[in-house]
Homo-oligomer: A and B are copies of this chain.
Amino acid sequence: MNRRDFINKAGMTAGGLLLSSHARSFGREDKKLGIALVGLGSYATFQLAPALQDSKLCKLTGIVTGTPEKAEKWSAQYNIPKKNIYNYQNFDQIKDNPDIDIVYVVLPNSMHAEYTIRAARAGKHVICEKPMALNVAECKAMIKACDEAKVHLSVGYRLYFEPHHLEMRRLGTQKIHGGVKMIESSLGFSMADPKVWRLNKALGGGGAIMDLGVYCIQGARRTIGELPEAVTAQGFVRDHNVFKGIYEMVMFQMEFPGGAISNSTTTYTSYIDRLYATTGYKWFSLEPSYNGTGASGNSSEGKISFQTNPYQQTRQMDDFADCILNNRKSEASGEEGMTDLKIIEAIKKAADTGKKVKVSY
């Protein structure tokens, strides 16, 4: 077993991770883990690649793209050798490349499951962008594949590592200002171009509730520190020229076992970005909350403000590298991703039927 095999496989079982490994002692300090980005769209281009430049534990060593012009541009910009550039035909050969420890899947939602599973089978650790997949069944298959391959799996939940969001979670779960009774958590922006994949039902899986709903759900459930037991939802389409077969806007309410209720708006029609929690007489909130360029916090007790990295994904990817090096499970695990898909499936069913839907975990 060589050093890389150890990092990839040591201490992992099919059912999960052993936590007793000491991969760090193998001298990884002097070499960063190599990440290959799969899919060079705007998120990879403007967030992930720049974020990797500040990383302590990772570096961008490979790319997977179907566009030769992008391959050439990225190769020059980030000094990526030809041998580390793959396309969607030869992707599986990545298994033989020792420069690549982690595959980061940044493809349209409909391709998350396939490329996560193929990456796992190639022996690579995987970060998959959110939403983790189109549905719960895909999430299960992805988790199983990573377990079987004994690789780590994480979902691209950058806000799990963002200081303002960690503070909201601390204030909520530790009941610093009392127990949370109500949350408003909303995210939306205008997407008027009907050609983008997010508006395509087959590729995106259902519009704003898939892509933006995850943030609203997490803002509420992680601040409260509980999982919703039931949801109601209302789906709207006003512009049938742009929104075909998907909701333009979904509003949804979640009931938490401790008594809190949340209300959310997700939309591809207009701008909104806010997480607000109230405990009765006190409140704490972020606005903007979920966007990648920085949160701003306020509360009944004063401002909430933290110094942050230029790119939120730097912390996220460094944490995942640390998980691999120290063989601990990521907090932004595949199971967390699947939990959100369970909630999203319930919300979609509630919006389609107009009925309250219980969520099973």
Residues in A lying within 8 Å of B, measured CB to CB: 181-182, 184, 186, 188, 190, 192, 232, 234, 236, 238-239, 249, 251, 253, 255, 259, 261, 263, 265, 267, 269-272, 274, 276, 278-283, 300, 354-356
Q: How far is the CB of A169 from chain B (nearest CB, A)?
A: 19
Known contacts A259-B238, A259-B239, A263-B265; is A281 also within 8 Å of B271 by CB?
Answer: yes
- Pick 14 A–B contacts, CB within 8 A, sort by A: A181-B267, A181-B269, A182-B270, A186-B263, A190-B280, A236-B261, A238-B261, A270-B278, A270-B279, A270-B283, A271-B283, A272-B283, A274-B276, A354-B354
Q: How far is the CB of A258 from chain B (nearest CB, A)?
A: 9
Nearest first, the 6 A-B pairs at minimum CB distance are: A270-B278, A181-B270, A238-B259, A190-B280, A251-B263, A270-B280
Q: How far is the CB of A203 from chain B (nearest CB, A)?
A: 23
Nearest B residue to A269, CB-CB: B181
Q: From the candidates B259, B263, B354, name the one contacting A356 in the complex (CB within 8 A).
A: B354
Cα A236 to Cα B270 with chains together (Å): 28
Which residues of chain B are near A278, meaning CB under 8 Å? 188, 270-272
Which residues of chain B are near A239, meaning CB under 8 Å? 259
Q: How far is the CB of A168 from chain B (nearest CB, A)?
A: 16
Report which residue of A182, A269, A354 has the largest number of chain B beta carbons within 10 angstroms of its beta carbon: A182
Nearest B residue to A282, CB-CB: B271
Q: How far is the CB of A166 from chain B (nearest CB, A)?
A: 23
Q: How far is the CB of A153 from chain B (nearest CB, A)?
A: 35
Cross-chain contact B255 with A184 (CB below 8 angstroms): no
Q: From the candidates B184, B238, B279, B282, name the one contacting A265 in the complex (CB within 8 A).
A: B184
Q: From the candidates B253, B274, B280, name the one contacting A234 in the complex (CB within 8 A).
A: B253
Which residues of chain B are near A255, meaning CB under 8 Å? 236
Known contacts A238-B259, A263-B263; is A182 also within 8 Å of B269 by CB?
Answer: yes
Cα A302 to Cα B130 with chains together (Å): 33
Cross-chain contact A188 with B184 (CB below 8 angstroms): no
Known contacts A184-B184, A270-B182, A272-B184; is A261 also within 8 Å of B249 by CB?
Answer: yes
Which residues of chain B are near A279, meaning CB under 8 Å? 270
Q: How far is the CB of A281 from chain B (nearest CB, A)?
A: 6
Which residues of chain B are near A181, meaning CB under 8 Å? 267, 269-270
Nearest B residue to A239, CB-CB: B259
Known contacts A253-B251, A259-B238, A281-B190; is A276 also within 8 Å of B272 by CB?
Answer: yes
